[in-house]
Amino acid sequence: MLKSCASRRRQDKIFDMSKLPRRRDRGFTLVEIMIVLGVMGIMASIAIPNYQKLTARGYRSEMVTAIGKFKFFFKNAHDNNATFATSDVPDSGGQSQVNPDPTLAALGIPAQWDGKRTGWKDMPFGLEGGIRMRYYFQVNSPDEVEFEACGNFPSFGPLTVPCGDMGINGNYFYDEKVEGDGTNPPGYPAELPAAF
């Protein structure tokens, strides 16, 4: 009897898991998961287009800097020589080569500026780093020069926009004419697509 009392006391002290209330193991329901995925989809549909526009603006800022340098150079050339022509590019239809060379790197792929290409030899500057857009200019007359830039922006779709006289297609195109007094003729600058 003593033995049975001792064993009973021992059993009372042992923690009996079966007498505890069982906690129901429960994960997320399918409805809860679908709601979370729906909210994430809505957030992505807002964030991704804004990110793509921000990226395109970054690519476009390269063009704004480059065209600004070209205009400054040609305005000084016109003020000093009464013509936009340079020793490398003559008046009336003188054209530069596309720079960077589109045969070395596809449009949108960073490439190095080549100051030895026709039209660019007289310019005392070059663009630095990997240039994503391709540039071209043409001296239309002693008092008018035209700059063109062509790009391939990741979010702008297929390459269906012909890039002027460059002989390549992109999905972004910028065209600006500048007259001897530094103004633009009506309709310039032109940009496709027009809005950012």
pLDDT in tens, 143-193: 889 999 988 887 777 888 888 777 888 888 899 999 988 888 998 998 888
Range of the domain at 152: 60-192
Q: How confident is the model at residue 62 (pLDDT cuts 50, 70, 90)?
A: confident
Please indicate, yes or no, if residue 75 is contained in any of the structural domains: yes
Please indicate, yes or no, if residue 76 is contained in any of the structural domains: yes
pLDDT value at residue 13? 59
Please indicate, yes or no, if residue 93 is contained in any of the structural domains: yes
- Measured in Å, how far apart are the chain's first and last C-alpha atoms? 93
Instruction: Tell me what the mean pLDDT of segment 115-136 comes to.
Output: 84
Instruction: Tell me what the mean pLDDT of segment 16-41 comes to.
Output: 79
Please indicate, yes or no, if residue 81 is contained in any of the structural domains: yes
* 37 has a pLDDT exceeding 60: yes
Please indicate, yes or no, if residue 5 is contained in any of the structural domains: no
Q: How confident is the model at residue 35 (pLDDT cuts 50, 70, 90)?
A: very high
Q: Is the pTM of this model over 0.75?
A: no
Copy the structure tokens of residue 5.
């009392």
Q: CA gyration radius for the chain?
A: 34
Contact 151, 63 (CB under 8 A): yes
Please indicate, yes or no, if residue 29 is contained in any of the structural domains: no
> How distant, in Å, are the alpha carbons of 97, 99, 101 from that of 105?
15, 11, 7
pLDDT value at residue 23? 63
Structural domain tally of the chain? 1
Please indicate, yes or no, if residue 54 is contained in any of the structural domains: no
Q: Looking at residue 43, what DSSP letter applies? A: H
* 81 has a pLDDT exceeding 90: no
Please indicate, yes or no, if residue 24 is contained in any of the structural domains: no
CA distance 142 to 82: 7
